[in-house]
Amino acid sequence: MTLICLGCPTVDPSTQKALALPIVNPLDRHGRIFFFAWLSFLLSFMSWYAMPPLLNATIKQDLGLTDNEVANSTILGGVASLLVRLIAGPLCDRFGPRYVLIGTLFLSAIPCGCAGLAKDALGLGFVRFFMGVAGAAFVPCQALMAAWFDNSVIGTASAFAAGWGDAGVGVTFFVMPAVYESFLGTHDHPERIAWRLSFLVPCILQIVCGLAVLFLSDDTPTGPWSSRNLDMSRRPSVAPILQDLRSSNSSMTMTPHATLDLEKGQATTAEVQRRGSEAPTLADAQQGHSSKPSKKQIVGDLCCLQTLMLAAAYFSTFGLALLVNAVLVNWFMAPTKFGWSQSLATDWASMFGLLNFVTRPFGGLTGDLLYRRFGEQRGLVAKKFWISFLAVGGGAFALLIGLLNPSSPAVFLVLIAILAIFIEAGNGACYALLPHVNPHVNGLMGGIVGGSGNLGGIVYTTVARHSSFHKTLWTTGLTSLVIGVAIAFVHPVVPQNRRTLHA
């Protein structure tokens, strides 16, 4: 069975999840949710990064900003995204990722449209902080993929949705200068007005996309999010399967996690059959997990070694990507480096973001291929080693660029492109493994791991504020190397679930 299809995908009869990714078919309901997921994330990233393409020259000069004030505003945007990502995780579990995505689009559109009201460093920091809300769209985007696509293809679906969404950074570095130049030249507005009007474009696009998601998509493949935890016997899509399971093996019982995963669409029929073990009775299992996991269970899930492993990996890969996106234009324009114009600098800086169109999907797709090649037990270990390899590779190239500090633009661009391949593929690989770790709190997991990436960006950007770019790169590269090696020694499966895999 292929991971990607052009028509309507085959679905699992018990969960209604797609077993392949309909990559260019928005007419299909699974293809439509994929389309809106990546498009919403792309437009959110456009809103989040609408400021940097114009910040280091036009806005900085108009508002009379210092380099430190520019850097501080960048850090504030990262802090806001971190906080909202942590909140978005439990909100996805409570209200469903679709409504969280819609809310994120609407809420982040407001500060983006009001960005032109900033008149000084304080106003800029205020606006950029609330524009950072847009970065939280990543969490419901990934949670939607987990709700609509089977575990055998989740890495591919998550990586394509996130990769095409992340490419919004590169799109922004093209679009915002073009919009600014249009207002400046075609419409004959002065510079101080042109840049302010430019922010209305991503604002309007976000609102339109939010309305489309609201009226043209569904919560889950089986119905509204609020009905996902009904007793299994009351679920039309699950009741016949339970009857078949009882008929085929009357002595079989199911563990609480297996029951909950089938209820929430996190397991297929085969997986539930395999998880039959020593639960007292099927009825007990159903009754025991019609309620939500306790706070103690949730804390244990989020503090386990496997969660920390994914958080550390994403801290290093996505944090490094945020650092490069934040400072690359300024690096190109610096008189002590290349001294490029704002237009030329943004054009070449867009390359780093646009590579996400292929690099992040490559990371997730490779993870799924490894999973299918080696089977469920060894496949998860293979996914883990794939993450480790990419983190080490990304760290090595960041270290190399920082130590060489190349003065040739051609050499620098080649090395930056290779760095992008490793760390952006690493981002995709992380979320190819994440749905297998504590799937019953998938939204929380997405929020914690996604927030850790923002934390990495904050830490690395803060380091860059007090150091040169090349020193920051080799420092962060060394950190990624250490994290990548450490990941290799962590088992990817939570201890209480390992016996299930061996069964």
Query: Where are the domains positioned within the chain?
Result: 19-223+297-502
Query: d(Cα 149, Cα 310) in Å, to the nearest integer?
Result: 21
More confident of the two residues 161 and 294: 161
- Per DSSP, what are the bridge partners of residue 276? 254
Three-state SS for 276? strand
pLDDT of residue 7: 85
Range among 12-26, 193-207, 290-304 with highest mean pLDDT value: 193-207
pLDDT band at 385 (very low <50, low <70, confident <90, very high): very high
Confidence (pTM): 0.78
Please give the pLDDT value at position 289: 40
Q: Is the pLDDT of residue 460 over 60?
A: yes
Max Cα-Cα span within the chain: 79
Average pLDDT of the chain, as a whole number: 83
pLDDT digits (tens, 9 = 90+) for 31-48: 999 999 999 999 998 999
Asked if residue 238 has pLDDT above 70, the reply is: no
- Tell me what the mean pLDDT of segment 129-138 comes to: 91
Give the pLDDT of residue 230: 58
List the one residue out of 421, 425, 424, 417 whose CA is nearest residue 401.
Answer: 417
Q: Which of 135, 161, 114 is nearest to 46 (CA)?
A: 135
* Inter-residue contact 171 to 148 (CB < 8 Å): no
Is residue 4 helix, strand or coil?
A: strand
Residue 201 clears pLDDT 90, i.e. is over it: yes
Give the DSSP letter string of 200-233.
HHHHHHHHHHHHHHHHH--SBTTB-GGGTTS-GG
pLDDT tier for residue 223 given thresholds of 50, 70 and 90: confident
> Does 211 have pLDDT greater than 50?
yes
Residue 446 near residue 139, CB atoms below 8 Å? yes
Q: CB of 58 within 8 A of CB of 415?
A: no
> Looking at the domain 19-223+297-502, which fold is it?
Growth Hormone; Chain: A; (1.20.1250)
Mean pLDDT of 237-247: 52
Question: How confident is residue 488, by pLDDT bands cut at 50, 70 and 90?
Answer: very high
Does 229 score more than 70 pLDDT? no
DSSP state of 294: P
Q: Alpha carbon of 493 to those of 2, 370, 438, 501: distances in Å?
A: 25, 16, 9, 9
CB count within 10 Å of CB 402 equals: 19
Sequence-ordered list of residues with C-beta below 8 angstroms from that of 308, at least 6 positions apart, any chain:
none
Provide the residue type at 389 as one letter: F
Tokens of 147: 């709700």
Q: Ranked by mean pLDDT, which of 25-29, 85-89, 104-108, 344-348 comes out on top?
A: 104-108
pLDDT band at 293 (very low <50, low <70, confident <90, very high): low
Which of 380, 382, 391 has its CA nearest to residue 494? Answer: 380
Whether the predicted pLDDT of 273 surpasses 50? no
Say what the pLDDT of residue 36 is: 95
Contact 318, 41 (CB under 8 A): no
C-alpha torsion sign, points 192, 197, 198, 203: positive
Higher pLDDT, 93 or 499: 93
- Give CA–CA dist 453/432, Å, rounded: 15
**Tokens linked to 376:** 């469920």
Number of alpha carbons in the 13 Å side-chain half-sphere of residue 384: 26
Question: What's the pLDDT score for residue 292?
Answer: 63
- Pick from 207, 223, 154, 212: nearest CA to 26: 212
Which of 132-141, 178-187, 247-256, 441-450 shows the highest mean pLDDT?
132-141
Least confident of 54-58, 206-210, 289-293, 377-381: 289-293
Give CA–CA dist 483/410, Å, rounded. Answer: 30
* 181/183 Cα distance (integer angstroms): 6
Phi, psi of 21 (to 5 degrees): -95, 115
**Residue 277's pLDDT band (cuts 50, 70, 90):** very low
Q: Tell me how many degrees the CA angle 48-145-154 measures, rounded to the nearest 5.
A: 120
How far does CA 169 lie from the centroid of its chain?
13
What pLDDT band is residue 280 in, cutting at 50, 70 and 90? very low
pLDDT of residue 304: 84
